[in-house]
């Protein structure tokens, strides 16, 4: 007995020493089930402008709970939250961009398509598969100021067939209509009027899928990750078990983003189509009002809205109010497709009555527009004759009817 007791004494002494040196050490018999699993550090902003720091307790489709300094736990309805920011910084973004019809723009390291299913692989995140009916476009090359506006114009233009967009010399984009059959790491298989061609990716800007339905309802939540993706979601939920954010993207599409890849969640969506924006004013020229009467002119020559598009007429002004937080206008503009007799005209965008962008349209192609709006509070879409003395030219009924301009997908972005 004496030898046995002596042999255990050093072990007991060692354990006592360990517990004394590391007071956080727990024996196997201790119950830790009641101790909270603290979430990541976050900083969030309420709609009232208050900034709060703490650790994420939980995030559901309706509420946010956080543990504040001092251990206090507090809960907010999501209707009270403007944004949530996570620790982290932007990382190198992969070049390809996959745009879903629900508004998500995914930075993809690799993309493949087979049997009308598109597989999207993102760095540091699970890959996911979607039907091509839920995909608007796949751009293989990184965004570039040399081609961004032209690519935008092609994407926003409604088309009944798929388009294969070739990048020519001088950064010219050349769209070809047909059907996308398959996408692999090297090429796109494309049906061109019954002829199957394999187009090398290195010669392409991307592919644009046919437009068969109206735009989807805008998603209320935007999630930004560290690789440059913008995920538009109907709902987000925090998964504490694997420390990831689960996104409901609509159309039965879900995705999970690990904590280490998260950057920010915005609860105001971040996209406002001009067709949905508050109209501050619509102006028709005095000469047209004198010719037709003010009521008739304002009724028959007012701006028209069609899902995400606007249609304006010659010499008219369409003015909207810009809500707080929006930073950029993107759109594609062209002469309306139903206009039979084309004539050149000038279109402009004004920010707080200052001309910020102008273009003389001399063809029927759509033209892309990407414009920072800075701190402007009013935005005006204007059209006029291209002549230097356009301000002195009195529009006629035939001019107003024949000069109709479509602003395709015109929207403000945060």
Q: Judge contact between 248 and 236, C-beta under 8 A.
A: yes
Sheet holding 244-250, edge to edge: 235-239, 244-250, 253-258
pLDDT value of position 333 = 95
Q: Of 104, 136, 106, 138, whose CA–CA distance to 124 is shortest?
A: 106
pLDDT value of position 29 = 34
pLDDT value of position 48 = 85
Give the distance from CA 76 to its chain's centroid. 26
Give the separation between CA 314 and CA 343, rounded to whole angstroms: 11
Give ∠ CA 184-164-125 in degrees, rounded to 5.
45
- Expressed in angstroms, the distance from the first to the final Cα of the chain is 78
Q: Of 339, 328, 333, whose CA–CA distance to 318 is shortest?
A: 333
Which token pair is 376?
Answer: 């402007």
Residues 6+ apart with CB under 8 A from 395: 285, 287, 288, 314, 315
Fold exhibited by the domain 41-86: SH3 type barrels. (2.30.30)
pLDDT value of position 304 = 85
Tally Cβ neighbours within 10 Å of residue 59.
Answer: 23
pLDDT value of position 24 = 41
Looking at the chain, which residues constitute the CATH 2.30.30.100 domain(s)? Answer: 41-86
Looking at domain 272-413, what is its CATH homologous superfamily?
A: NPCBM/NEW2 domain (2.60.120.1060)
Tally Cβ neighbours within 10 Å of residue 195.
Answer: 8
The H or E element spanning position 245 is strand 244-250
SS3 25: coil
Spans of the chain, pLDDT less than 70 = 1-37, 212-215, 284-301, 339-341, 387-402
Residues 6+ apart with CB under 8 A from 14: none
Looking at the chain, which residues constitute the CATH 2.60.120.1060 domain(s)? Answer: 272-413
Query: Each residue of 197-220: pLDDT tens digit?
Result: 999 999 999 999 998 666 677 789
Q: Judge contact between 98 and 183, C-beta under 8 A.
A: no
Query: Each residue of 130-182: pLDDT tens digit?
Result: 999 999 999 999 888 899 999 999 999 988 999 999 999 999 999 999 999 99
Give the separation between CA 26 and CA 264, rounded to whole angstroms: 36
Give the separation between CA 315 and CA 191, rounded to whole angstroms: 43
Rounded to two decimals, the pTM is: 0.79
pLDDT value of position 297 = 56
């Amino acid at each position: 007995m004496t030898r046995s007791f002596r042999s255990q004494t050093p072990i007991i002494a060692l354990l006592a020493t360990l517990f004394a040196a590391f007071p956080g050490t727990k024996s196997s018999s201790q119950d830790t089930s009641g101790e909270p699993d603290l979430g990541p550090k976050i900083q969030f902003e309420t709609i009232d402008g208050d900034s709060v720091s703490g650790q994420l307790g939980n995030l559901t489709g309706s509420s946010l709970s956080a543990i504040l300094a001092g251990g206090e736990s507090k809960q907010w309805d999501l209707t009270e939250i403007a944004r949530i920011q996570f620790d982290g910084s932007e990382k190198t973004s992969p070049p390809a961009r996959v745009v879903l019809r629900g508004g998500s723009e995914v930075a993809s390291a690799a993309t493949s398509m087979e049997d009308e299913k598109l597989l999207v692989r993102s760095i540091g995140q699970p890959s996911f598969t979607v039907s091509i009916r839920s995909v608007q476009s796949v751009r293989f090359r990184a965004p570039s100021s040399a081609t961004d506006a032209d690519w935008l114009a092609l994407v926003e233009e409604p088309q009944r067939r798929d388009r294969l967009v070739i990048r020519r010399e001088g950064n010219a984009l050349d769209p070809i209509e047909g059907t996308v059959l398959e996408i692999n790491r090297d090429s796109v298989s494309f049906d061109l009027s019954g002829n199957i061609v394999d187009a090398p990716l290195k010669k392409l800007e991307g592919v644009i899928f046919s437009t068969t339905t109206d735009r989807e309802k805008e998603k209320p939540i935007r999630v930004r990750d560290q690789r440059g993706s913008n995920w538009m979601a109907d709902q987000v939920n925090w998964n504490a078990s694997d420390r990831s954010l689960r996104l409901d993207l609509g159309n039965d599409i879900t995705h999970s983003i690990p904590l280490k890849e998260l950057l920010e969640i915005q609860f105001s969506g971040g996209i406002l189509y001009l067709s949905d924006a508050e109209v501050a004013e619509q102006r028709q020229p005095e000469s047209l009002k004198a010719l037709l009467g003010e009521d008739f002119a304002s009724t028959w020559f007012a701006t028209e809205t069609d899902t995400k598009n606007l249609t304006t007429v010659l010499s008219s002004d369409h003015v909207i109010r810009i809500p707080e937080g929006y930073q950029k206008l993107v759109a594609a503009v062209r002469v309306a497709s139903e206009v039979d007799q084309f004539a050149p005209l000038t279109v402009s965008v004004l920010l707080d009555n200052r001309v910020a962008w102008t273009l003389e349209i001399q063809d029927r192609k759509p033209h892309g527009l990407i414009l920072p709006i800075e701190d402007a509070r009013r935005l005006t879409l204007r059209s006029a004759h291209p002549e230097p003395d356009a301000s002195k030219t009195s529009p006629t009924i035939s001019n107003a009817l024949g000069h109709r301009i479509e602003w395709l997908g015109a929207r403000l972005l945060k």
